[in-house]
Chains A and B, each alone.
Chain A
Amino acid sequence: MKPLILVPAFNEAARVGRVVAGVRAAVPDATILVVDDGSSDGTTEVARAAGARVVRLPFNLGAGVAAQTGYKLAVREGYDCVVQLDADGQHEPADIAALLDVIARGEADVVIGSRFLGGAGYRSGLLRRTGMGLFRWLAWLLTGVWFSDVTSGFRALGGDVVRFVATEWYPADYADADVLITLCRAGFRLREVPVRMYPRTGGLSMHAGLRPVYYVFKMLLSVALAPLRREPAHRKGI
C-alpha cells in the first residue's frame, strides 16, 4: 500500500511542526502532505521545515476544501489510501497504523478514529456532548449506523473512497457528519476504531465563540438535505 498522510492546516504554525515530526516518527516511509488553507502565520514554512510536502491554497477556503485538495493530489499521484488528521496535535500519530490496518485488510472502505470508543475516554463539555448526541441520532436516522464520534477529523480512506471524495459529490462546505452520511449513502463500508485524543495546547478551537451555533445550524441543514440530494453515481470502482 502507498498511503498519503494528509494534514489540513489553517494558522497552525505553532503546532503543525510537532504533528509532522510525530507522523514521521510513527510512519517513516509514508508521504506527509500538509495543505495550508491560506494561513497568514507561516504554517507553510514550518511544515516544510519539518519535512512535509506542502500545498498552499491562495486564500482560506475552509477545512473541507483543504482536505479535498489533498484527495485530488492523492488521486493524481496514485496513492491508494489517505489518512487524514488534524494539525493541532489533538490526534496521536501512533494510531495511524491502526486505521491503515483496517483498510489494508479490506475490512472497511472508510475508517474513523473515534475518541469515545473503547477505553479511549475523552471528556468534553455538556453543550458539545448534547450537540454530538443530536448528530449521532440524525446520522443513525439517515444511515442506520450508530457512530460514536461523528465529528472526528481522524480518518482513513481507501482508494475508491479517495477517488469519490475528489469529485463534486464531496460536501466540501460541510465536512464531518455530512461526509459520513454521504459516504454511507454512496455504499461504502464504514468502521470506527478507538483512538487517543489530547486536549488542545493553546490556540483557538475551530469551535469557539458563536461559531458552534453557526456550525450546528449548518450541520443540521446539510444533514437534513443529505437524503434529498441526488444519489451519487458511485458504486465500487469508478
Chain B
Amino acid sequence: MAELTLHQTIFALVTSLVAFLFVLELVRRRRLREEYSWLWLLTAGAMVVLVVWYRLLIVITHVVGAVTPLNTLLVCAVLFLFAIAVHYSVIISRLATQVKNLAQELALLSSRVEEREG
C-alpha cells in the first residue's frame, strides 16, 4: 500500500508514456483512424495519471473495496479488454452489413451492365 519507489515510478511512467505516444503516432500517420483510437488514448492517459497521482489509485482501491492497488489495476485491465472487444464486435457488425450491401449493389449493377452490353 506504500507509495511507489522512484525506481518503480520511472519505469511505470516511461511505459505508459511510450504507450500513449505510440497510439498518437499511429493516428498522426493515419495508420489508425481517430474514431478507433480514443479508447486506447484514454487507457494510456489513465495509466500516466495513475502513475503520477498514485494516491488516486489507493483511494479508488479503498472505494471499490479491493485489497491491494494491484487488484484494482487488474480489474480495470479486464474491464478495458472487455470494452474494447465489444467495441470491435460492434464495428465488425457494421462493416459486415456494409460489405453485404456493397456486394449486393455490385451484383445488381454488374448484371445491369452485362444485360445492356448484351
Q: What is the interface of chain A, defined by CB distance below 8 A to chain B?
A: 35, 53-59, 61, 65, 68-69, 72-73, 76, 168, 172
Contacts and interface: CB of A to CB of B under 8 A. Distances in A.
Contacts of B115: 53
B111 A55 contact: yes
Interface string B97-113: 10010011011101100
Interface in B81-118: 97, 100, 103-104, 106-108, 110-111, 115
A54 B108 CA distance: 9
Nearest to A38: B103
A65 B111 contact: no
10 contacts: A53-B115, A55-B107, A55-B108, A55-B111, A57-B103, A58-B106, A69-B104, A69-B108, A72-B104, A172-B100
Chain A binding surface, main DSSP class: mixed
Nearest to B104: A69
Given A59-B103, A61-B103, A68-B104, A54 B97 contact: no
Given A65-B104, A69-B104, 4 more contacts: A54-B111, A56-B110, A57-B103, A65-B103
Contact of B103 (A54, A58, A73): A58
B108 A72 contact: yes
A56 B107 contact: yes
Contacts of A53: 111, 115
Contacts of A57: 103-104, 107
Interface centre among A54, A55, A68, A73 (most CB of B within 10 A): A55
A65 to B, nearest CB: 6
Chain B binding surface, main DSSP class: helix
A69 B110 CA distance: 13
Contacts of A72: 104, 108
A90 B108 CA distance: 27
Contacts of A172: 100
Contacts of B104: 57, 65, 68-69, 72
B68 to A, nearest CB: 40
A117 B103 CA distance: 37
B116 to A, nearest CB: 13
A73 to B, nearest CB: 6
A61 B106 CA distance: 13
Interface string B48-60: 0000000000000
Given A59-B103, A61-B103, A168 B97 contact: yes
Contacts of A56: 107, 110-111
A53 B111 CA distance: 9
Nearest to B106: A58
A73 B97 contact: no
B26 to A, nearest CB: 30
Contacts of B106: 58
A69 B97 contact: no
A76 B109 CA distance: 12
A65 B101 CA distance: 9
Contacts of B110: 56
A58 B107 contact: yes
A-B residue pairs, 8 tightest by C-beta: A55-B111, A69-B104, A57-B107, A55-B107, A58-B103, A57-B103, A65-B100, A73-B108
